[in-house]
């Protein structure tokens, strides 16, 4: 194939850099008391909405490769779509299909895992996020794996549950745990030794990402592998106890626990066991996978490392080949925007803080680690803080902008992309007031970017990968009114919304017009739009530009 792109037939490109600014988790809400984006003071975003080219884009469901339009978007699939210009079936869809047609269970990896535990008599261990959020995992996938173990005469199963409260309601863990226990009790009556073994909240145990805080993974390793955490007789007892101890705690922040019986912890991992990490999304699975697989591992002291057969639900990194064994092949994303740009000698910059650095690099580049061409790219990571996001809602937005503006002023980059994590990371806390501050902090940076791009005669695209801060209350599906707790207060929502996201194009001096009406475009249309602003025609199979020729 030829990587060479033709000049755009109708537009020679803007003279300066083309900057894509992703306001992570900032969707278009209902303009009500649940909408932290609307409640925030945002003079720069308001100006863009009224004066720049503007439309809305679909950022969830089938528009980003999810199974149905009832599925929220997320940062992984959103940045995949933004960076590759097409829609690929994503992890949730691929796993569901592989389970439905049996390919997962017929594969060599599954067969080896089950054969190992049938021979050794050790349990099959499942570790992952217990919810139906469908962002990192789905409880239905876990149930299918457990039932298959029963069908294949696997005598013992242990489940290590990571509690969500982030992609689902903030205190919903007991419902998922009860459903799991009901299934396990049914199988125990058939003579199986199937039990919940350990768990904890996802933001405290196991699910760190981008090496932001290895202590989270170390805590998970001690809990799941060694059975070393606060003991309880059941997961329900642990959750209820933690709720009583601190009613402000939500599921994502619950401490680690292990389930014990009279003999001690029921599920430490021993030689001869098999372990499946059933999360399909890679960013918060990579570090645990590395802890299981790497011989030369220095992130923390693993203690005695049991001889287990480990596999992930999917391959989490196609370049580093982590993990070595997996159950379902990931989407084969090729010919990304970044690849086309380096092959057409366009220098590009990607920048964010740690929490979203992999989104403008790894996910944007089609789940590819590292540089495509280091001579034509610069990736800048601004280290995130480790304090609670609601206590620092401004996060590192100003520092990101400082570096971004300085790099653009150097004149070496024709394309740049930046992610401001505030709307998503603070939105996930469920704290509406902090989320308002988060959006205001990002709006301030938008003003700085507008001034920089005006000086350089470039173009600024402002959009988002999905919604979050735009819907901070759980809403009743029939009335649309907030659900309320026993005290009459609105129930906080910590998951992504299904709302569309904004698209603003600020290109002073350029004669440009939008193509679609509101709602007709999606995130995949952005790549061709960037190419047009650079004066390049897009590949034939890319989703069309949002601009008229």
Dump the DSSP string for 132-146: S--SS--HHHHHHHH
Coil/strand/helix, residue 257 = strand
Q: Where are the beta strands (DSSP E) in 103-188?
A: 124-130, 156-163
Provide the 8-state DSSP code for 8.
P
Mapped to the 3 state alphabet, what secondary structure does 43-97 carry? HHHHHHHHHCEEEEEECCHHHHCCCCCCCCCCHHHHHHHHHHCCCCCCHHHHHHH
Q: What are phi and psi of 340, to 5 degrees?
A: -60, -40
> Is the Cα dihedral 212, 213, 214, 220 positive or negative?
negative
Integer Cα distance of 89 and 47 in angstroms: 36
Residue 383 and residue 362: Cα distance in Å, rounded?
17
497 Cβ contact partners less than 8 Å away, ≥ 6 residues apart: 27, 29, 72, 466, 467, 468, 470, 471
Provide the 3-class DSSP secondary structure of residue 374. Answer: coil
90 and 65 Cβ atoms separated by less than 8 Å? yes
Instruction: Tell me the helix, strand and coil percentages in the chain, rounded to 5.
Output: 35, 20, 45
Residue that has been written with the tokens 């399909």 in this structure: 280
Residues 6+ apart with CB under 8 A from 102: none
| Alpha helix ranges (H) inside 313-385 | 337-343, 354-358
Per-residue buried b or exposed e for 121-131, using 16+ beta carbons within 10 Å of the residue's own CB: ebbbbbbbbbb
- State the Cα torsion 483-487-492-498 to the nearest 10°: 0
Kindly list the catalytic residues. 75
Helix axes 139-151, 173-188, angle to 10 degrees: 10
Query: Tokens 């992504």, residue?
Result: 496
> Among 326, 330, 315, which residue's Cα sits nearest to residue 112?
326
Q: Half-sphere exposure of 421 toward its Cβ, with a 13 Å CA cutoff?
A: 27
């Amino acid at each position: 194939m030829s990587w060479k792109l033709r000049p755009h037939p109708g537009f020679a490109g803007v003279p300066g850099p083309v900057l894509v600014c992703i306001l992570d988790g900032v969707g278009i809400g209902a303009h009500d008391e649940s909408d932290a984006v609307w409640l925030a003071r945002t003079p720069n975003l308001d100006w863009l909405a009224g004066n720049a080219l503007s439309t809305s884009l679909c950022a969830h469901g089938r528009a980003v490769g999810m199974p149905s339009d009832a599925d929220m978007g997320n940062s992984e699939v959103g940045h995949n779509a933004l960076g590759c210009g097409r829609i690929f079936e994503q992890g949730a869809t691929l796993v569901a299909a592989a389970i439905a047609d049996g390919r997962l269970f017929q594969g060599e990896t599954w067969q080896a895992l089950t054969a190992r535990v049938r021979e050794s008599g050790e349990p099959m261990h499942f570790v992952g996020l217990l919810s139906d959020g469908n962002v990192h995992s789905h409880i239905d996938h876990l149930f299918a794996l457990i039932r298959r173990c029963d069908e294949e005469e696997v005598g013992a199963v242990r489940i290590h549950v990571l509690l969500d409260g982030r992609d689902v309601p903030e205190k919903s863990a007991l419902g998922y745990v009860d459903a799991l226990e009901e299934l396990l009790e049914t199988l125990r009556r058939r003579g199986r030794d199937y039990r919940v073994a350990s768990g904890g909240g996802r933001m405290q145990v196991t699910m760190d990402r981008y090496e932001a805080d290895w202590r989270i993974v170390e805590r998970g390793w001690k809990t799941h592998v060694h059975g070393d955490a606060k003991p309880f007789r059941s997961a329900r007892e642990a959750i209820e106890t933690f709720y009583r101890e601190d009613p402000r705690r939500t599921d994502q922040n619950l401490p680690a626990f292990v389930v014990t019986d009279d003999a001690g912890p029921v599920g430490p991992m021993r030689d001869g066991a098999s372990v499946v990490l059933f999360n399909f999304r890679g960013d918060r699975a990579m570090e645990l996978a590395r802890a299981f697989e790497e011989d030369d591992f220095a992130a923390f002291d693993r203690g005695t490392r049991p001889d287990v057969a480990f596999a992930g639900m999917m391959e989490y990194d196609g370049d580093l080949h982590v993990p070595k064994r997996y159950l379902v092949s990931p989407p084969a994303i090729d010919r990304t925007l970044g690849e086309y740009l380096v092959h057409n000698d366009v220098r590009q910059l990607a920048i964010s803080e740690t929490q979203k650095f992999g989104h403008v690099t790894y996910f944007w580049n089609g789940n590819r680690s590292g540089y495509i061409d280091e001579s034509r790219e610069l990736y800048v990571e601004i280290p995130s803080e480790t304090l609670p996001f609601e206590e620092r809602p401004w996060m590192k937005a100003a520092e990101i902008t400082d570096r971004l503006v300085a790099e653009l002023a150097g004149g070496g980059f024709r394309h740049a992309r930046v992610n401001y994590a505030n709307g998503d990371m603070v939105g996930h806390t469920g704290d509406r007031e902090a989320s308002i501050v988060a959006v205001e902090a990002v709006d301030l940076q938008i003003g700085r970017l507008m001034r920089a791009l005006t000086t350089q005669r470039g173009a600024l695209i402002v959009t988002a990968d999905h919604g979050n801060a735009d819907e901070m209350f759980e809403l009743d599906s029939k009335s649309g009114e907030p659900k309320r707790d026993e005290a009459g207060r609105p129930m906080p929502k910590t998951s992504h919304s299904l709302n569309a996201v904004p698209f603003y194009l600020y290109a002073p001096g350029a004669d440009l017009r939008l193509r679609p009406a509101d709602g007709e475009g999606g995130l995949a249309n952005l790549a061709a739009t960037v190419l047009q602003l650079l004066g390049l025609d897009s590949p034939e199979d890319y989703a069309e530009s949002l601009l008229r020729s």
